[in-house]
Amino acid sequence: GAGVSQSPRYKVAKRGQDVALRCDPISGHVSLFWYQQALGQGPEFLTYFQNEAQLDKSGLPSDRFFAERPEGSVSTLKIQRTQQEDSAVYLCASSNSRSGANVLTFGAGSRLTVL
């Protein structure tokens, strides 16, 4: 596609529910990143994929967070047993570079509100 597409744009979950957020990166982009942006803060790195391989998951805040990209294109970020502190905008970004200096193209984000 022309840009990075994320769905749903808005998600309200009750505490304890599981949620799944989807990212469609730009076609052909090798690298895919997930970021979490809390209100009034900058995006914080969660995890990174190169094709289908998850090469860095150092930013995932707990084992309730899980991400996958099984075919090296679409990615899903899953949050189990959601907590109020999980409320944030989840941003997906992709790039066609495997390393080094490169520009990430971001999607519009999925805003998660946990009640």
Partner 1 sequence: DQQVKQNSPSLSVQEGRISILNCDYTNSMFDYFLWYKKYPAEGPTFLISISSIKDKNEDGRFTVFLNKSAKHLSLHIVPSQPGDSAVYFCAASGVVSGNTGKLIFGQGTTLQVKP
Tell me: does residue 100 bind partner 1 (CB under 8 A): yes
CA distance 44 to 20: 19
DSSP state of 84: G
How many residues bind partner 1 (CB under 8 A)? The answer is: 30
Beta strand 110-114 with 10-13: parallel, antiparallel or unpaired?
A: parallel
Task: Please report how close the Cβ of residue 104 comes to partner 1 at its closest, in angstroms.
Answer: 6
74 binds partner 1 (CB under 8 A): no
Q: Is 43 in the site for partner 1 (CB under 8 A)?
A: yes
Q: Tell the smallest beta-carbon distance from residue 66 to partner 1 (Å).
A: 19
Could you tell me the smallest distance in angstroms from the CB atom of residue 52 to partner 1?
15
**The two three-digit tokens of residue 85, written as one number:** 């502190």
Judged by DSSP in three states, 54 sits in strand
Q: CB-hemisphere CA count at 13 Å for 48?
A: 14
Tell me: does residue 41 bind partner 1 (CB under 8 A): yes
Q: Which two tokens stand for residue 109?
A: 């984000």
Measured CA to CA, the distance from residue 39 to residue 100 in angstroms comes to 29
Taking contact as CB under 8 A, which single stretch among the options 13-21, 33-41, 60-68, 69-77 is the one that binds partner 1? 33-41
Q: Which residues bind partner 1 (CB under 8 A)?
A: 4, 31, 33, 35, 40-45, 48, 50, 55-56, 91, 93, 95, 97-109
